[in-house]
Structure 1
Amino acid sequence: MDPAASQRLFDAYYFAHCCGEPYKRSPAWLSLFNNMAEAITRQIDPRTVLDAGCAMGILVEALRQRGVEAWGVDISQYAIQNVPPKLQPYCRLGSVVDPFERSYDLIVCIEVLEHLPPAEAERAVANLCRHSADILFSSTPLDYQEPSHFNVQPPEYWAELFARQGFFRDVDFDASFITAWAVRFRRQDDPLARLVRQYERKFWLLWQENHQLRSLAMQMREQLAQQEAALAGGVQGGWLKSPRQALRRLLRRGKHA
């Protein structure tokens, strides 16, 4: 993306109006990134982290408060200018497409690559994978309304791009503390058969859970149909004067069941 175009897109207006709640050092954003940093340090425990698309450095700050050597890079000059002075040595202006200065134990890339055209997004994925073996990644599959979202894609699109670099989903890691669609991609040199085994194991567990939920829903539907039939029969038979009276009787029956 043209640097000048990036500066026009990700300016003061963008951060005030295009991020849901205005993006600033507000209690809501501070709490969100503090919780995120807490989960990262507790569950992954990296020594060095790059926040690729760090905006104003809130996650960088939260990680550094927990003893992590955290750094950030962002394409928005406005965002980098609004990084607090104490964090400015750790956050720099730059693109996630361009090579980074070093490698990291973990790279975090949250809601960034949907802002890039497909060809640049693919280059960015390759760049992330060259600089870490462990990547926490999130890109909305749903938000087509935001004007700078040029590349909103389903999860399998990103999974394929990472797989081309030898990175696969860690099926045992729950990254939902970031977003519902967040994924931890890790470099894996396992044979294909073992990767298939891991995916199938997780798929089977999810299938079982879905089957149980569907069975429960069907049972509840049958119970509701029985209650509706009893309700209708009571009114038609004359022993209840109205549907309201029938409902009251059913509710009383439920309390004493």
Structure 2
Amino acid sequence: MADSFDPQNDFDSFYYAKGCGSPYERNERWLTFFQGIADQIIADLQPKNVLDAGCAKGFLVEGLRNRGVETWGIDISEYAIQEVFDTIKPYCKVGSITDPFPQKYDLIVTIEVVEHMPAEMGKKAIENMCAHTDRVLFSSTPFDYKETTHYNVQPPEYWAREFARHGFFRDVDFDASFITSWAVCFKKVDQPLHQLAYDYERRFWLLWKENTDLRQLSNELRNQGRAFYSQTQAAKIRLESLISQMEQNKTNWNNEDNGLYQEYINQINLQMIKLKNLYEELNYQSAQIRPEKIELSNQPENLVAAINRLETNLAETIREREFEKKRADDLQQRWEALERTRTWKVLSSFYKIRKPK
């Protein structure tokens, strides 16, 4: 693999256009990202001088210098250094991070660099960095094997071992996740082994407890999600039944009495619009159920209450319609009885009395 290492060919304009996820150029995304890192470095570490080992186009050098920190950058890519902003160019140079640096620094930062080097060069780079600082802010992807310039992708424990060879250990109380989730701050340690064991165990126990609590919470959310899903499925079945019932009532009433019950049909139409909207909402709620996305709310109870109200409204509408139908039938029977009387027949011979339709 080392025989194929050709940095000027590997890290040319094509690499910076296509090999970094999105074009690695002077734009708002990358400037904002490195300015955020600069702010966090200053807030947490307060270094007076910094070296960005593998600085690429110098965005972090620029961010730190704009905030008053003496910062220099070095990168093996001639193309990248040519692209450094004019005001920053005097502080960035072409070079290998395996070669001795001109001075010691309060902090050396190296972000996604050593995986681009063959294994032996990576080890030499770590040795060189450890010789020129007491603190290294380090990030190297543990799983991106697809990028063709990643010659030495390794898990975090591999790099921890290499730094430990030079007396550098993880600062267990420093959170470097503002860079990447796998970023680490290594610091030179002159402590006895029992103190190192104490610090690691203290931090490990806290992380174990946090992980256990999160797993328990995840299971609780999953159970709530399952209950939510069951409630929404039951509500959907009720809604489907209501919609079917209302469709049947609408059909029956449309076929009766030449529009006598149009007011009730209009009410049914309004109720059906509400039902169908609620049904769509239930479908959406069911589709959104994911253990990691559940909001602890009373949505199922609200939906059930809405269905109950619609059922009540429908029942009242049906009762009113049945009452009006019974009343109309009673009037019809009285009219027919009146037609059979002698008085009606006498009056009919003198007046044109029409039977109501």
TM-score, reference length from structure 1 = 0.89
- RMSD over aligned Cα atoms: 2.7
1:191 partner amino acid: P
Query: CA contact under 8 A between 2:98 and 2:125: conserved in structure 1?
Result: yes
Number of positions where the alignment pairs a residue of Structure 1 with one of Structure 2: 253
Supply the AA of the counterpart residue of 2:301. R
- Residue 205 of structure 1 is matched in structure 2 by 206
In the superposition, relative to structure 1, how do residues 230 and 156 fare at CA in structure 2: closer, same or farther (>3 Å)?
same
SS at match of 1:120: helix
Q: How far 1:50 moved relative to its partner?
A: 0.2
**Cα distance, 1:256 vs. partner?**
8.9
Match of 1:97 in 2: 98
SS at 1:86 equivalent:
coil
Q: 2:301 aligns with which of 250, 253, 256?
A: 253
Deviation sequence 1:74-126 (CA, Å, 0-9, x none): 00011111122322221111001111111100000000000011111111111
* CA gap 1:99/1:2 in 2 versus in 1, 3 angstroms: farther
Kindly provide the CA deviation profile for residues 25-77 of structure 1, in whole angstroms up to 9, marking residues without a partner as x.
Answer: 11111111111111111111100100000111111111111111100100001
Post-superposition Cα deviations, 1:164-215, rounded to whole Å, max 9, x if no partner, equal 1100111111111111110000001111111111111111111111111122
More off after superposition, 208-217 vs 118-127: 208-217
CA contact (8 A) 2:49 2:105 kept: yes
CA contact (8 A) 2:232 2:300 kept: no
In the other structure, the counterpart of 1:54 is: 55
Residue 142 of structure 2: aligned partner: 141
Q: Which amino acid aligns with 1:31?
A: T
Q: Distance in 2 between matches of 1:102 and 1:3?
A: 31
Q: Choose between structure 1 and 2: higher helix proportion.
A: 2
Q: Highest CA radius of gyration, 1 or 2? A: 2
Determine if contact 2:107/2:136 at 8 Å carries over to the other structure: yes
Q: Distance in 2 between matches of 1:42 and 1:75?
A: 29
SS at match of 2:93: strand
Q: Post-superposition, which runs of at least 4 consecutive aligned residues in structure 1 deviate over 2 A?
A: 1-4, 217-236, 238-242, 254-257
Q: Shift of the alpha carbon at 1:218?
A: 2.4
CA contact (8 A) 2:12 2:79 kept: yes
Query: Residue 85 of structure 1: SS of its match in structure 2?
Result: coil
Aligned partner of 2:22 in structure 1 is: 21
Q: Which residue of 2 aligns with 1:109?
A: 110
Q: Which runs of 5+ in 2 are unaligned?
A: 243-278, 284-297, 306-357
In the alignment, residue 123 of structure 1 is paired with which amino acid? Answer: K
Uncovered stretches (5+) of structure 1, i.e. residues with no partner: none
Helix, strand or coil for the counterpart of 1:216? helix
Which amino acid letter does the alignment assign opposite residue 168 of structure 2?
F
Structure-to-structure mapping, 1:82-231, within 5 angstroms: 82-226=83-227
Q: Which residue of 2 aligns with 1:65?
A: 66
* Helix, strand or coil at the partner of 1:119: helix
Q: SS of the counterpart of 1:109? A: strand
- AA aligned to 2:201 is E
